[in-house]
Amino acid sequence: MTASNHSSNTDDDVVVIEQIVQGNQQAFTKLVTKYHRLVRVIIWNFFGKSIDPEDIMQEIFLQAYLNISKLKERAKFKSWLLRIAYNECVDSARKNRPASSGFSTEDLAEKGIYLEDVKAQDQFSIIAAWNLLANLASEDRTIVWLKYVEDCSYSEIFAVTGISETVARKKASRAMQILRERIKI
Amino acid sequence: MNCSAVKDLFSQHADSDSDLTKNSDFVRHISECAQCRSDFESHIKLVKALKKGFSDFTPWPDQQFNFKFPVQQNKKESIVDVISRFITMSWKPLTTAAFACIILFLFYFGSHNTPVCDFYLKTGRLVDIAAQSQAHDGKLSSRSFLAEVESQICCSLSDSSSYFQSRVSQDSLFSIKQNEIALEDGMLWIIHRDIPVKIAIPGAKISIIGTEFLVVTHGDSSLIRIFEGKVELIDSKKITEIKSGENYIYELASGTFVDMNESLQATWDRVIKSPAKALKALHPAAGHQVPVQNQQTDKSPDSQTNSSLEKPPKTFAPASETLNKDKEPESTLENSQELINPVEGLGN
């Protein structure tokens, strides 16, 4: 994501949040549409396909909706929302569910042909990579995803997970090293 | 720099705030150590593959998510919510049943003790629209009225324990119902104590407790301005709390609020001076058409004189004495007509 795109996106968020605070509550649906995929990804990294995400997504966006007027740094809405999602997943995992592996070949079969394309182009099995990731803690998996799939900086990862930049670097480095060794690229 | 330290640096690859290619130690080691070079190339491949394979991946792609807005907003947890929360906890059924009995008991006696308010015309002149005749002083029945001049309406409970007073501006159209004043067009100024009266405006009702506020309604727009305390605006979708100092136009069509930067005193002065002009300007963007009735009956010097209201009964406690001092008119008058401070006569 380029700096100008990022700035434009956060500017858009600031405008929408201002509309919501001024009373246009329906404007919140714009933020739901924009960020629901990322919220799903956070949930998926914790629980995989083992749950129905509807309730937990409603809870996450409801918390965001009810507290949005208290958000001081509106340009950082994305990190703030993902922090809510991350905390909700941690709480939910603690209360209701044992730690889930999150991933399975069944999950990844949805990507089917496309994954095979990736495999052919990059000469390694990404399915094997994610099977390996399944053995990581959900925390490590979330860090790898945010860093290498969503292009988040370590400071953003800290904002979302509360894991310090130094520790997050170590975790990401260790996870990627394990992956490299396992799949033997 | 040894191999272990170099591998630790891989995590900085693709960082926006650090560029490994500018790290001379790293570059030198990579160029000299075949194993680390191979590992770094593998790392880059892996990063690219992860990005390519999953950047557009949406979990549960077949499940649409529609956010459900909460029914009530900005509303403090009510006693019903608290009791509901207790009931959903793991209480024994007997305790739950006891709660239910208490609630039924309170509801039964509460509903039988709901006080009925009687409305009275205190000063001014009202036309009973259905009867096409002037309403006399005394109790106002459930009918629609047009204020010929600025008038004062009071409401009291049967035991006279509490009441409110209100002023309606000239040409205001409103109706009296049980425990409710429905303002259809015009301006209403309320000084209110603990009495179960609601003010209805097009599309919503205002629930009020111990407050002082001003409502102006024209068409589908209503201006609500609170002097002190707070009110709850209830429409079909939600309950919204409006606090002292906030100044809104409520739009029936959109169900939203538009902030209006004008003082309450300025609004009152403007409407009193020229109802037609003021109501037209109520919603500048929409440019409402002004009713003929208002255009023809701008306030005359005579009606100004007649509209001086009586002092309220002794039992009435003014919302704020300082209000009279603090809310001096902000607008300067172009003519010599003396405008009435709406609080005057209601307070003290």
Q: Which CATH class is domain A1-100?
A: mainly alpha
B13-27, B185-199, B287-301: least confidently modelled range: B287-301
Is B67 a member of any domain? Answer: no
Contacts of B75 in chain A (CB under 8 A): none
Hey, of A5, A40, A46, A152, which one would you mutate to test binding to chain B, going by the most B CBs within 10 A of its CB? Answer: A40
Q: Does the pLDDT of residue B330 top 60, yes or no?
A: no
The answer to whether residues B46 and B171 belong to one domain is no
Per DSSP, the residues of B274-335 read -HHHHHHTTSTTT-PPPPHHHHH-PPPHHHHHHTPPPPPPTTPPPS-HHHHHHT---SPPSS
Write out the residue range of the structural domain in which residue B102 sits: 79-112
> How close B7 gets to chain A, by Cα (Å)?
8
pLDDT digits (tens, 9 = 90+) for A18-49: 999 988 888 999 999 999 999 998 988 888 77
Where on the phi/psi map is residue A22: left (φ > 0), alpha (ψ -120 to 50), or beta?
alpha
pLDDT digits (tens, 9 = 90+) for B25-76: 888 898 889 988 888 888 888 788 777 767 777 888 888 888 988 875 455 5
Q: Does the pLDDT of residue A71 top 80, yes or no?
A: yes
Where on the phi/psi map is residue B31: left (φ > 0), alpha (ψ -120 to 50), or beta?
alpha
The answer to whether residues B132 and B169 belong to one domain is yes
Q: Which of A18, A23, A123 is nearest to A71 (CA)?
A: A18
Q: Does the pLDDT of residue B346 top 60, yes or no?
A: no
Higher pLDDT, A8 or B112: A8
Chain mean position to CA A141: 10
The answer to whether residues B86 and B202 belong to one domain is no
Torsion from C-alpha of B20, B21, B27, B31, nearest 10 degrees = 120
pLDDT digits (tens, 9 = 90+) for B121-138: 888 888 887 776 776 656
Tell me the mean pLDDT in the region A66-72.
91
Q: Which CATH class is domain A101-185?
A: mainly alpha
The answer to whether residues B142 and B268 belong to one domain is yes
B247-251, B264-268, B269-273, B276-280: least confidently modelled range: B276-280
Tell me the residues of B at the A interface, defined by beta carbons under 8 Å apart.
7-8, 10-12, 14-17, 39, 42-43, 45-55, 57-61, 63, 65, 67-70, 73, 256-259
Task: Indicate the domain borders of chain A.
Answer: 1-100, 101-185
Q: Does the pLDDT of residue A84 top 90, yes or no?
A: yes
> How close B143 gets to chain A, by Cα (Å)?
35
Higher pLDDT, A159 or B11: A159
Is B266 a member of any domain? Answer: yes
The answer to whether residues B294 and B181 belong to one domain is yes
CA dist., res. B41 & res. B147, Å (int): 85
The pLDDT mean for chain B works out to 66
User: In this complex, do B46 and A180 lie within 8 Å of one another by their Cβ atoms?
Assistant: yes
The answer to whether residues B198 and B282 belong to one domain is yes
pLDDT-above-70 percentage for chain B: 52
B293: pLDDT confidence band, cut at 50, 70 and 90?
very low
CA dist., res. A102 & res. A51, Å (int): 10
Write down the pLDDT at residue A95. 73
Contacts of B259 in chain A (CB under 8 A): 22
Is B65 a member of any domain? Answer: no
For A133, name the nearest residue in chain B, comparing CA atoms only: B50
Higher pLDDT, B11 or B28: B28
Is B348 a member of any domain? Answer: no
The answer to whether residues B155 and B22 belong to one domain is no
Write down the pLDDT at residue B305. 32
The answer to whether residues B28 and B92 belong to one domain is no
Most confident of A59-68, A161-170, B268-277: A59-68
Tell me the mean pLDDT in the region B204-213.
75
Tell me the mean pLDDT in the region B196-222.
77
The answer to whether residues B129 and B243 belong to one domain is yes
The answer to whether residues B152 and B262 belong to one domain is yes
Q: How many CB atoms lie within 10 A of CB A96?
A: 10
Write down the pLDDT at residue A175. 82
Is B196 a member of any domain? Answer: yes
Residue holding tokens 């004008």? B262
